[in-house]
């Protein structure tokens, strides 16, 4: 248990890394009405979907003062490593309304909720651990450019909030006479970008002094920025090119005039009777009096003539202002604009000048992307069609072509929906049957056919019928199965007078007087993610049909209901469209979206492509898009690097891009890696490709993906570069040797491996570093695997063991315990029949070191080391058959809970493959025992390897039995095992000198 002084001290540190490699619950914020995306989605995956579950049940924080805690159950290996995944989500209120003071209160409430959750759920079981204090990670909440919170303000708010929560918990503990509510003793801020992480780390020092003086508490700030895994570096803060600025636009309703005086109905009827009975008076006078004084006076609905704009700016503040306008004039201009298919530049310019406040005009012109957050009134305005044209041709484009533009709706609350669907299924309906006063729509049929083709090419199970469907057929298809995408093209209907009544008929026109409305789509379970409604082929509608003037309100009405029901993205045509431009828009939109592009970018490209082909048409702006601009149907690693139209202007940009690709391409297949890296090379100037550092980085990118031939070619070019300003490093030669060995082993080429070893000896002659010794050890092991002569095999194993031992000794002399060469040396010595009485002590030290390392910059190799130690113990203890199931569990837990890639998993399993092959190659006194060990390793590998990676060369069991359970066998030969030391012997390792931690490398070179 920590001392009272230590427990009362709040430690603050900053980690440069990503969320996938954290060990403690993560504090983050959520805006009201926002979706779970980005970093929040990563955390949701870490807590096994607990955040999505809350979100779908309507129990998710959003409003100020709300908070939720989700803790994922820990596996056995996570408990050993001290890993506890969790989320502490606080509500941030509405976009643009977050302030430092409200953030402090929200953090305080969230931390308090978490501490109480720990106390109530675990306090009675693990009170000792709670008394040591809790550690949490935190994002820099509110510090992105969409909020009015600077990085230092965010750091200050987080630390203050934790201090306030700890104070409240301490006071409560005192009142309960030392009941000991847990408190947070360490807050670690996490930031992926290096420049922001550095700024946050510097801010912690300034925050420390202020808070210590104000609250009289002890705060200990880490003196240096901690380096984690997955961090990125950028040359300068990113521009607003790919960022979506939020503008909130709402109508300001004037106070209605006081209603005219009128009598209650009973008194009015009685007065009328009295006056009518009095025949002595002039009837005309009384009739006029009755009409004036006793008439029914309905209050007249007033149109708002003021709009309120709230624009979140780069200057870390929100700019709010009112814009007055003549509502009748605006309505007339809107109707003139949307009742034609031709783009009216004059009206678009007039609407821009009348609607946008003077002080915000220049700000809007400078934006690359904007999200308009609209209310039920401003959603009816054609924002996509306004234009700020001056003289240049570019400025004569509609605003939605010049910039990315997406809508969101201001809503008080969202209806609960059971769940989203991730199935690859889609429904496409084109030109369904309608009443006779609606004309046939061949354009809608052609659009639906092309969309269905694109969906099928993208491997979506598409429900599409080319014939005109009746109403019941459309509804039957809609409700037959869950769909992820719904696309409908046809006629639409909207009656403004029905909008507020029950049973309103606004939606897609079907046969028999039936309408497909948002209510039917909302009944789907799961709810679709994308709905595309092109219900405005009004240019071809018979003018005797109803509703030719309310198309913009139809789009806003349907989209609003769908978003409220939980659909993540909605595209709805807001006014009449033409056939060919509509087909062009749909084709471009789906092609990009199905390729993995985010919703906002796909929409922006579709509008741009449609405008380029049809510049006189306003169809490109007819589509009102509602949702999250970052929504995507599928992840597409590396797409930002390939598809970004930011031209590279410096070689340093390419170097940073290649560093980032090592993370984003970790799970990509070989074809994807080649395509992405080929695109990177094409973006380079010829001079850059002559630089040694660029070629070295390209080689590293290919090597990380397992493409050894391409990597070796780039390393060779790096070594041959003659530009003294940008030379390759010695690591180029080290990695060339490493990859040549691995390629030789893969192709069974002993000559290539021996040539690489010869080059490696030259490097050792220059300096015998532990890295180079490890490479030489790995090369000797691979030669042993290819040899058939027993004497040569033993010679290679002896040399490999000597290299690994020397590498471990050099690291030990530097005060660092490196498990990698130690474990490899132990395995080799066991296979060679060598004894070592201290072997178990060394294994225990490696195991403890891996646990300690995992609590720092988290690495998958530290988790795998624990499983490796268990494997070696089973080999030494002659218990591989008995421990096989336990070993499978340990490796699976290490893979699942430490964010390993498939390549990392495959690398980890090379230890077992190597042991199995050497056991088969070397003669043993007890062949049955050796065969039993090989059979056990085969069974373990079979359960750990993906089905497509089960090697055809995997040895078959030598026994006649076919049972999947490893058979019990006689003990292994003595030279393959060593008696385990007693618990007393094992405990001696705690008295050894403390050494520095070493960076863990892949399990087996």
Q: Could you tell me if residue 198 is inside a domain?
A: yes
Q: Are 79 and 127 part of one and the same domain? A: yes
Among 547-556, 634-643, 873-882, the least confident range: 634-643
- Of residues 465 and 4, the one with the higher pLDDT is 465
Domains identified in the chain, total number: 6
Band of pLDDT at residue 388, cut at 50, 70 and 90? confident
Mean pLDDT across 239-260: 70
Among 167-171, 640-644, 648-652, the least confident range: 640-644
Query: To the nearest whole percent, how much of the chain has pLDDT over 70?
Result: 75
Q: Are 395 and 432 part of one and the same domain? A: no
Q: What is the DSSP letter of 257?
A: P
Among 212-226, 489-503, 696-710, 907-921, the least confident range: 489-503
Mean pLDDT across 855-866: 76
Positive/negative CA dihedral, 514, 518, 521, 522: negative
Last residue of some domain: 828, 854, 869?
Answer: 828
Q: Is the pLDDT of residue 785 over 90?
A: yes
If you write DSSP's letter for every residue of 370-396 in order, what string do you get? EEEEE-TTGGGS-GGG-----SSTGGG
The pLDDT assigned to 186 comes to: 95
Number of helices followed by number of strands (H, E) in the chain: 37, 24
- Of residues 966 and 68, the one with the higher pLDDT is 68
Q: Are 842 and 800 part of one and the same domain? A: no
Q: Are 823 and 842 part of one and the same domain? A: no
Rounded CA separation 808/364 (Å): 62
The pLDDT assigned to 274 comes to: 64
Q: Are 877 and 890 part of one and the same domain? A: yes
Mean pLDDT across 744-755: 93
Give the domain CATH number at 83. 3.40.220.10
Q: Could you tell me if residue 195 is inside a domain?
A: yes
Band of pLDDT at residue 897, cut at 50, 70 and 90? low
Positive/negative CA dihedral, 406, 409, 410, 411: negative
Q: Is the pLDDT of residue 329 over 70?
A: yes
Q: Could you tell me if residue 706 is inside a domain?
A: yes
The pLDDT assigned to 954 comes to: 44
Q: Is the pLDDT of residue 969 over 70?
A: no
Q: Which domain holds residue 362?
A: 306-409
The pLDDT assigned to 474 comes to: 92
Q: Could you tell me if residue 85 is inside a domain?
A: yes
Q: Could you tell me if residue 999 is inside a domain?
A: no
Among 145-154, 251-260, 563-572, 889-898, the least confident range: 251-260
Q: Are 205 and 60 part of one and the same domain? A: yes
Q: For residue range 171-180, what is the model confidence (pLDDT) as tens digits?
A: 876 555 555 7
Last residue of some domain: 807, 828, 849?
Answer: 828
Q: Are 445 and 557 part of one and the same domain? A: yes
Q: Are 556 and 450 part of one and the same domain? A: yes
Buried b (16+ CB within 10 A) or exposed e, 185-198: bbbbbbbbbbbbbe
Q: Are 401 and 522 part of one and the same domain? A: no
Cα of 16 vs its chain's centroid, Å = 18
Last residue of some domain: 892, 917, 946?
Answer: 946
Positive/negative CA dihedral, 442, 448, 449, 450: positive
Cα of 920 vs its chain's centroid, Å = 46
Name the E strands within 804-883: 816-817
Rounded CA separation 594/458 (Å): 7
Q: Is the pLDDT of residue 103 over 60?
A: yes
Rounded CA separation 843/986 (Å): 9
Q: Could you tell me if residue 389 is inside a domain?
A: yes
Q: Could you tell me if residue 954 is inside a domain?
A: no
Give the domain CATH number at 433. 3.40.50.1460
Mean pLDDT across 832-842: 87
Cα of 180 vs its chain's centroid, Å = 37
Q: Is the pLDDT of residue 534 over 60?
A: yes
Q: Which two tokens stand for residue 471?
A: 């109403």
Q: Is the pLDDT of residue 414 over 50?
A: yes
The pLDDT assigned to 209 comes to: 84
Q: For residue range 898-950, what is the model confidence (pLDDT) as tens digits?
A: 667 777 788 888 889 999 999 999 887 777 778 888 999 999 999 887 655 54
The pLDDT assigned to 927 comes to: 78
Q: For residue range 619-643, what is the model confidence (pLDDT) as tens digits?
A: 888 888 998 888 888 754 434 444 4
Q: Is the pLDDT of residue 439 over 70?
A: yes
Rounded CA separation 276/278 (Å): 5
Q: Are 448 and 545 part of one and the same domain? A: yes
Mean pLDDT across 973-979: 42
Q: Are 512 and 371 part of one and the same domain? A: no
CA dihedral 442, 443, 448, 449 (to 10 degrees): 70
The pLDDT assigned to 354 comes to: 87
The pLDDT assigned to 901 comes to: 74
Q: Are 692 and 789 part of one and the same domain? A: no
Q: Could you tell me if residue 967 is inside a domain?
A: no
Neighbour-count burial of 946, counting CB atoms closer than 10 A to its CB (0-12 exposed, 13-18 middle, 19+ buried):
exposed
Q: For residue range 507-524, what is the model confidence (pLDDT) as tens digits?
A: 788 998 888 887 787 777
What is the average pLDDT score of the chain?
79
The pLDDT assigned to 322 comes to: 66
Q: Is the pLDDT of residue 497 over 90?
A: no
Q: Is the pLDDT of residue 579 over 60?
A: yes
């Amino acid at each position: 248990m920590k001392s009272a002084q230590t427990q009362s001290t709040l430690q603050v540190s900053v980690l440069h890394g990503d969320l996938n490699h954290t060990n403690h619950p993560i504090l983050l914020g959520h805006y009201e009405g926002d979706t779970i995306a980005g970093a929040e989605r990563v955390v949701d995956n870490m807590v096994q979907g607990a955040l999505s579950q809350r979100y779908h049940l309507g129990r998710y924080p959003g409003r100020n003062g709300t908070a939720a805690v989700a803790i994922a159950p820990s596996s056995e290996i996570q408990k050993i490593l001290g890993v506890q995944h969790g989320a502490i989500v606080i509500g941030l209120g509405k976009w643009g309304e977050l302030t430092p003071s409200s953030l402090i209160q929200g953090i305080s409430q969230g931390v308090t909720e978490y501490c109480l959750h720990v106390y109530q759920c675990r306090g009675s079981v693990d009170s000792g651990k709670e008394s040591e204090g809790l550690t949490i990670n935190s994002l820099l909440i509110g510090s992105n450019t969409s909020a009015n919170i600077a990085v230092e303000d965010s750091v200050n708010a987080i630390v203050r909030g934790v201090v306030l929560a700890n104070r409240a918990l301490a006071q409560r503990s005192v009142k309960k006479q030392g009941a000991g509510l847990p408190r947070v003793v360490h807050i670690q801020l996490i930031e992926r970008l290096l420049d922001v992480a550095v700024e946050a780390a510097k801010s912690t020092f300034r925050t420390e002094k202020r808070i210590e003086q104000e609250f009289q508490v002890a705060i200990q700030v880490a003196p240096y920025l901690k380096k984690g895994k997955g961090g990125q570096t950028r040359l300068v803060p990113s521009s607003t090119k790919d960022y979506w600025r939020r503008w909130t636009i709402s109508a300001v309703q004037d106070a209605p005039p006081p209603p005219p005086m009128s009598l209650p109905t009973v008194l009015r009827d009685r007065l009328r009777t009295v006056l009518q009975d009095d025949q002595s008076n002039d009837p005309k006078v009384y009739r006029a009096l009755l009409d004036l004084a006793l008439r029914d006076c309905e209050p007249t609905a007033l149109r708002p003539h003021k709009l309120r704009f709230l624009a979140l700016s780069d200057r870390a503040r929100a700019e709010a202002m009112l814009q007055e306008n003549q509502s009748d004039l605006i309505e007339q201009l809107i109707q003139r604009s949307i009742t034609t298919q031709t783009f009216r530049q004059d009206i678009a310019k007039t609407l821009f000048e009348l609607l946008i406040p003077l002080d915000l005009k220049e700000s809007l012109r400078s934006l690359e992307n904007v999200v308009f957050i609209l209310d039920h009134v401003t959603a009816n305005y054609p924002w996509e069609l306004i234009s700020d044209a001056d003289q240049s041709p570019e400025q004569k484009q509609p605003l939605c072509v010049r910039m990315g533009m997406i809508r969101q709706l201001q809503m008080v609350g969202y209806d609960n929906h059971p769940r989203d669907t991730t199935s690859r299924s889609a429904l496409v309906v084109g030109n369904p049957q309608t009443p006779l006063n609606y004309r046939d729509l061949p354009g809608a049929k052609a659009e639906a056919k092309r969309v269905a083709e694109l969906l099928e090419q993208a491997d979506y199970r598409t429900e599409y019928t080319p014939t005109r469907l009746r109403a019941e057929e459309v509804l039957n298809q809609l409700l037959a199965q869950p769909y992820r995408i719904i696309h409908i093209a046809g006629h639409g209907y909207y009656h403004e007078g029905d909008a507020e009544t029950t049973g309103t008929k606004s939606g897609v026109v079907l046969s028999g007087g039936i309408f497909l409305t948002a209510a039917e789509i909302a009944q789907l379970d799961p709810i679709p993610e994308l709905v595309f409604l092109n219900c405005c082929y009004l240019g071809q509608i018979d003018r005797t049909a109803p509703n030719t003037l309310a198309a913009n309100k139809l789009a806003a009405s349907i989209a609003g209901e769908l978003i409220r029901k939980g659909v993540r993205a909605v595209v709805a045509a807001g006014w009449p469209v033409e056939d060919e431009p509509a087909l062009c828009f749909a084709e471009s939109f789906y092609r990009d979206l199905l390729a993995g592009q985010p919703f906002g970018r796909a929409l922006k490209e579709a509008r741009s492509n449609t405008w380029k082909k049809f510049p006189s048409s306003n169809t490109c702006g007819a589509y009102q898009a509602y949702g999250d601009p970052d929504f995507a149907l599928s992840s597409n690693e590396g797409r930002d690097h390939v598809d970004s139209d930011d031209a590279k202007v410096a070689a340093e940009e390419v170097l940073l891009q290649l560093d980032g690709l090592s993370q984003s391409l970790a799970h990509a297949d070989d074809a994807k890696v080649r395509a992405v890296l080929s695109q990177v090379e094409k973006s380079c100037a010829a001079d850059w490709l002559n630089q040694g550092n660029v070629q070295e980085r390209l080689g590293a990118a290919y090597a990380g993906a397992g493409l050894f031939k391409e990597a070796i070619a780039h390393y060779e070019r790096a070594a041959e570069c003659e530009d003294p300003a940008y030379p390759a490093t010695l690591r180029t030669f080290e990695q060339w040797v490493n990859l040549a060995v691995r390629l030789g082993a893969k192709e069974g080429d002993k000559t290539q491996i021996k040539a690489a070893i010869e080059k490696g000896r030259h490097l050792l002659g220059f300096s015998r570093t532990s890295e180079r010794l490890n490479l030489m050890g790995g090369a000797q092991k691979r030669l042993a695997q290819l040899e058939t002569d027993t004497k040569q095999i033993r010679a290679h194993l002896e040399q490999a063991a000597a290299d690994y031992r020397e590498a471990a000794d050099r690291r030990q002399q530097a005060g660092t315990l490196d498990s990698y060469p130690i474990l490899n040396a132990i395995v080799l010595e066991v296979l060679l029949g060598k004894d070592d009485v201290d072997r178990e002590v060394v294994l225990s030290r490696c195991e403890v070191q891996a646990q300690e390392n995992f609590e720092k910059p988290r690495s998958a190799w530290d988790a795998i080391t624990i499983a490796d130690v268990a494997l070696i113990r089973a080999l030494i203890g002659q218990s591989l058959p008995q421990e096989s199931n336990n070993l499978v569990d340990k490796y699976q837990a290490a893979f699942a809970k430490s964010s390993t890639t498939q390549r990392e998993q495959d690398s980890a399993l090379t230890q077992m493959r190597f042991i199995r092959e050497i056991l088969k190659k070397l003669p043993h006194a007890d062949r049955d025992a050796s065969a039993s060990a090989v059979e056990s390793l085969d069974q373990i590998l079979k359960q750990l390897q993906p089905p497509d990676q089960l090697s055809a060369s995997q040895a078959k069991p030598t026994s006649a039995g076919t049972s999947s359970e490893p058979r019990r066998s006689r003990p292994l030969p003595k030279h393959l095992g060593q008696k385990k030391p007693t618990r007393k012997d094992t405990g001696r390792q705690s008295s050894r000198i403390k050494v520095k931690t070493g960076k863990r490398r892949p399990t087996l070179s």
